[in-house]
Structure 1
């Protein structure tokens, strides 16, 4: 599987990478995440949407509260792809 261009676009932004770091230890609400940043609500919502569209985070609603979590499967795919790209090219056998 190749990593999605959306995933690379999403992790290109430092704020979105920080959101992913914060979610390493488990789900957090949108409010808990927003408290860690000096950004407007619309800006935070945009970051959440970009991460969700890239399938890097999950979101679920409980009443008025939105919970975000990591989608570790997609993150593992992105990391595996990056490691494969950066690994020195191996000599291929001729058949």
Structure 2
């Protein structure tokens, strides 16, 4: 599961996943959406493959990538469960309120002219 979260940590990889959410794409089609060197993009795709978030199928000389949506949904669900996000009812943890901001420093005088 850590590999999934590490893969999701980089904005380029999240953008690749968003593109693949629209449908399968070849490596060249994915590359057309980015202004990075092809080896850099290949590295991002490798990390996504190793995490199991995408898989590639060879079609002749190119590789067509697909989103492994069920693993992505499972990973995000586990993260939501970990932080108990979306739970309602008596078993839901009480939400803590944000810390209050400290009060402004009290003035020692009431007349601003005294500070001139």
Matches within 5 A, 1:67-78: 67-78=64-75
Aligned counterpart in structure 1 of residue 44 of structure 2, from 38, 43, 47:
47
Offset, 1:50: 0.1
Distance in 2 of aligned mates of 1:79 and 1:9: 13
Q: Spell out structure 1 runs of 4+ moving beyond 6 A.
A: none
Higher helix share: 1
Question: Does 1:25 pair with 2:22?
Answer: yes
Offset, 1:86: 2.1
Matches within 5 A, 1:1-40: 4-40=1-37
Q: In the comparison of the two structures, how many residue pairs are matched?
A: 88
With normalisation by structure 2, the TM-score equals: 0.72
Q: Alignment RMSD, CA only?
A: 1.4
Distance in 1 of aligned mates of 2:40 and 2:61: 19
Question: Structure 2: where are the runs of 5+ without partners?
Answer: 93-116
Question: Looking at CA atoms only, which structure, 1 or 2, has the larger radius of gyration?
Answer: 2
Distance in 2 of aligned mates of 1:42 and 1:25: 24
Question: Structure 1: where are the runs of 5+ without partners?
Answer: none
